[in-house]
Amino acid sequence: MRASGACGGSGRSIYHLTMTARWAAKMAGVAFAGVLSACGTATAPDEPETATAPAALPISYDGDWFVDGAAAAGLDFVHENGMTGNFYQPEMMGPGVGLLDYDNDGDLDVYLVQGGRLGDGEALLAPPADQPPGDRLFRNDFDTGPGGERRLRFTDVTDEAGIASRGYGMGVAAGDYDNDGWIDIYTTRFGPNQMFRNRGDGTFADVTAETGTGDPGLSVPATFFDYDRDGRLDLFVGNYLNYSIETHWQCYAQSGPADYCPPEVSPPQPDRLYRNRGDGTFADVTFEAGMGREYGPGLGASAADYDNDGWLDLFVANDQQDNQLWINQRDGTFRNRALLWGTAFGATGVAKADMGVDAGDFDNDGDEDLFITELTGQGSTLYVNDGGMFRDESAGRGIRAASLPYTGFGAGWLDIDNDGWLDVIAVNGTVTLDLEAHGPDNPFALQQRNQVFRNHGGERFEDVTDRAGAAFALLEVSRGAAFGDIDNDGDTDVLVANGAGPVRLFVNDVGQMRHWIGLRLVGRETPRDMLGARVEVTLPGGSTRWRRARADGSYASANDPRVIVGLGEWVGAPRVRVTWPSGSVEEWDDLPIDRYATLTEGEGRQP
């Protein structure tokens, strides 16, 4: 079989970083400027254009694994949380971020969610005077440097794209809901949410009213997924609290000063499930589908096939209340199996402050495990999936103790060094004031550093934050985190949103040292990304890795829907098997490595 658009991205050329150039720069002790070489048009897999990979990155490698490239690339953005000293709940919750290819040119663009003024009074943390208000959309452009190299550059195209956000932003989700091949954008807000339809000409239309998706509550996570297997993306919206500025209740720290309230002060608000009718509108089927009976303060959501029956399920992480694990009954309804299957509470049987969540197969056994960030003193949770039943193995696998001092929000599974094992990055920031750091120069004293956990063969995790680079020594109020290959070099980078702070782009500098295969999975009838498609990659030696095309997870953020599978030292072509959301299964066995390929449903071999 031949891979259509083997360089990825809707039949157009994309770029991949020359691994040997980056390696040479590192060995010479100079900064790497982001050299990119044209991948060119699609070629037959028996003549792959592969870059020569250096030897495997040794564990003792002392270079920075990640470098913050936001400012140099033109991502000039500072979040405004609007705080006036009244400690309104939304101030410390946002924002999320999005990685999505809105213009179909094969590279990831950036969507940044903005807050705004809350209530009356003078803002204590105002953004730069020259920064426009509202959410921002940045187009990913490559320009040419003095030596002919191509470098990452971003251009603010918010106004020309017609993105006119309203209200106080919380998060963002991305998916092609109308099957026209162009990514649409859904934003969650404190106030009515917004749906932006991509016109395919570089502009968007606000179709919130037409689609019927303008939920007016305090929404945080949102997930596009095809739960009924009709070929159209449906939409889940997670709501947090029944909260308003008018009914705000002042809370206080134990030592006396005013502080942010815990979620128990306000009642939770029901989540929403919208079914895609296929005519440009959505139907609210929350109660019809069974999700209206149980809900909590939802902060995280991840759609995956947790019981491996071929139908997408949904996990919802709740703040200080039991979680929901909605198992698809394949008839348009769901049943909450969280208590029965072991994901409702922590190991002690007590509800935890669950924030961000991501599903992934960290132990390469063929089922989806869960990583969840939580409150300081609780520690993050690792639920290991054992055929549909889950066990909290956070302590035994090295997660619990290392994460106890931190309050986590955005989180994601990613293979940092492409060794074939999924690692974890969690971004942190407390929710109650650090009174020692609090003062006129730091009224939003919630700063913590972020964390990196390296997976040792699926057995245990090691906190390697100190080796991840100077970017991970920063103390900020990190919230949303989006994961994706921003420079198309075959490894996963991280876009991080900071409350009342600047955006960060952590560019991965280590993943190119090993082999990889990148896949974009698109539909038969429409060229959209097939969210939920499951990939099984078997290496020549017989070992297998499972990955899933997904844009949800983390915290209030949208991820790169492409799949990157680390191959380590293997240089032969792996066998790739794809289980599509429709239930069909196909195989490819001659795909080139160290580059991207686009796989289209219906063009593979029947197994």
Please give the Cα distance from 6 to 175 (Å, whole number). Answer: 22
Other C-beta atoms closer than 10 Å to the C-beta of 597 total: 24
The one-character DSSP state at 574 is: P
Mean pLDDT over the full length of the chain = 90
Question: pLDDT at residue 67 above 80?
Answer: yes
* Angle, CA of 321, 327 and 328, to the nearest 5°: 140
Least confident of 3-7, 136-140, 569-573, 583-587: 3-7
- Cβ contact 214:192 at 8 Å: yes
pLDDT digits (tens, 9 = 90+) for 225-263: 999 999 999 999 999 999 999 999 999 998 889 999 999
More confident residue, 63 or 416: 416
- pTM exceeds 0.85 for this model: yes
Sheet of 515-522, strands arranged across: 563-568, 515-522, 596-600
What is the residue type of 64?
A: D
Where does the pLDDT of residue 57 fall: very low under 50, low under 70, confident under 90, or very high at 90 and above?
Answer: low
Give the pairing of strands 313-318 and 369-372.
unpaired
pLDDT digits (tens, 9 = 90+) for 331-384: 999 999 999 999 999 999 999 999 999 999 999 999 999 999 999 999 999 999
Strand locations in 322-380 (E) = 324-328, 334-336, 357-360, 369-372
Count of residues in the chain: 607
Please give the Cα distance from 69 to 507 (Å, whole number). Answer: 6
Other C-beta atoms closer than 10 Å to the C-beta of 405 total: 14
Peptide bond into 95 cis (omega under 30): yes
Please, what sign has the CA dihedral across residues 182, 330, 412, 479?
positive
Beta bridge partners of 392: 383
Please give the Cα distance from 545 to 574 (Å, whole number). Answer: 11
pLDDT at 146: 79
- CA distances (Å), origin 317, targets 245, 295, 312: 25, 10, 17
pLDDT at 8: 36
Choose among 536, 526, 483, 544: nearest CA to 305. Answer: 536
DSSP-based helix, strand, coil % in the chain, nearest 5:
10, 35, 55
pLDDT digits (tens, 9 = 90+) for 290-344: 999 999 999 999 999 999 999 999 999 999 999 999 999 999 999 999 999 999 9
Other C-beta atoms closer than 10 Å to the C-beta of 480 total: 31
Secondary structure of residue 153 in the 3-state scheme: strand
pLDDT digits (tens, 9 = 90+) for 177-189: 999 999 999 999 9
pLDDT at 150: 62
Question: pLDDT at residue 3 above 50?
Answer: no
Please give the Cα distance from 574 to 568 (Å, whole number). Answer: 12
pLDDT digits (tens, 9 = 90+) for 471-496: 999 999 999 999 999 999 999 999 99
Secondary structure of residue 327 in the 3-state scheme: strand
- Percent of the chain exceeding pLDDT 70 equals 89
